[in-house]
Amino acid sequence: MGYLAVSCDKESQRIGRRDIAVAWRGTVAPSEWFSDMKASLEQIGEGGVKVESGFHSIYTSKSESTLSASEQVMEEVERLLEFFKERGEEVSLTVTGHSLGGALALLSAYDAASSLPDLDHISVISFGAPRVGNVSFRDKMSEMGVKVLRVVVKQDIVPKLPGIIFNKILNQLHALTRGLKWVYRHVGTELKLDMSLSPYLKREFDLLGFHNLEVYLHLTDGFHDTQSKFRWNARRDVALVNKFSDMLIEELRIPENWFQVPNKGLVFNRHGRWVKPCRDQEDIPSPSGEAPSHDFTAKNMLAHNKLQV
């Protein structure tokens, strides 16, 4: 579901501290989409702190053989924190993610701030992240000193969820609703990007394209300030925008969805069959047991062939 890395000595010297970086991926499996769409809040802390139940379930679910995503990341962060603190270093934590990953980034930052007081600085940079918790969650994150930058695309609907209609009305009545613990609130500072500022992007309506991570990175690369146009000397390869989308203008002649994994993801098993590989057990966010095996036995293959006749 993600990666964890530590700044090297050279980079640590440049920024003045040892930085632990955690990156969470976005939604992949259908079960994750189902969890994403849950809109109920559940309590996770004192003082009425509540978060969206689907995100929290993905973050904390585990099986008899697999630790939860929360346990895995916090165990490693704690180990690294102890190691570098013993060397007398200042240690920070930076968490990032796109879409669902942005929600998980907030939850792991909350975890770290609540349980690891020796961390000198905790920051979150999210891309296209939905709302995660209520006003008490937002206030608690601020109280614990967690710095959050939310990068959003103006045309993207996901950062407006959950509660795209209900929350919009209530936010207009902020003075009356700010104390309600069941209303979703964003955390941190927003950096809003606009599709229309890039001369390379189509002007067509495309919900998936608006939310695409490569589009986010393209617009971030071209951003200078709120008063400027798209940066002419942006360095990120424009072709990456069409890696998993069709958002680039036709004049660029970049094929849509051009990225392909070898053999479209199929693998050759020991029985001489091309099959879809199983997802790694540790990459299943809501494990319900052992992953099914696609490496059929000879007996199963014979039975399968009989059914096809």
pLDDT digit string (tens) for 257-288?
Answer: 999 989 988 999 999 999 988 866 655 555 44
Structural domains of the chain, ranges and CATH numbers in brackets: 2-193 (3.40.50.1820), 261-309 (no CATH)
Q: Which residue among the candidates 19, 111, 156, 246 is catalytic per the annotation?
A: 156
Active-site position among 56, 98, 211, 218: 211
The helix/strand/coil state of 267 is strand
Pairing state between β 41-43 and 121-127: unpaired
**Residue 8: pLDDT over 90:** yes
Report the C-alpha gap between 11 and 18 in whole angstroms. Answer: 8
211 is an active site residue: yes
Query: What pLDDT sits at residue 300?
Result: 44
**Least confident window among 11-20, 210-219, 256-265, 296-305:** 296-305
Whether the CB-CB separation of 68 and 62 falls below 8 Å is answered with yes
Q: For residues 298 and 282, is the Cβ–Cβ distance under 8 A?
A: no
Give the mean pLDDT of the chain.
Answer: 85
DSSP class of residue 248?
A: B
156 is catalytic: yes
Alpha helices in the chain (DSSP H): 9-15, 30-36, 53-60, 69-86, 100-115, 135-143, 166-172, 174-177, 207-211, 213-222, 298-308
pTM: 0.82
Which one of 7, 70, 99, 123 is the catalytic residue?
Answer: 99
Active site residue 19: no
Number of other residues whose CB lies within 10 A of the CB of residue 297: 10
pLDDT for 113-143, tens place per residue?
999 999 999 999 999 999 999 999 999 999 9
For the segment 91-104, what is each residue's pLDDT rounded down to a tens digit? 999 999 999 999 99
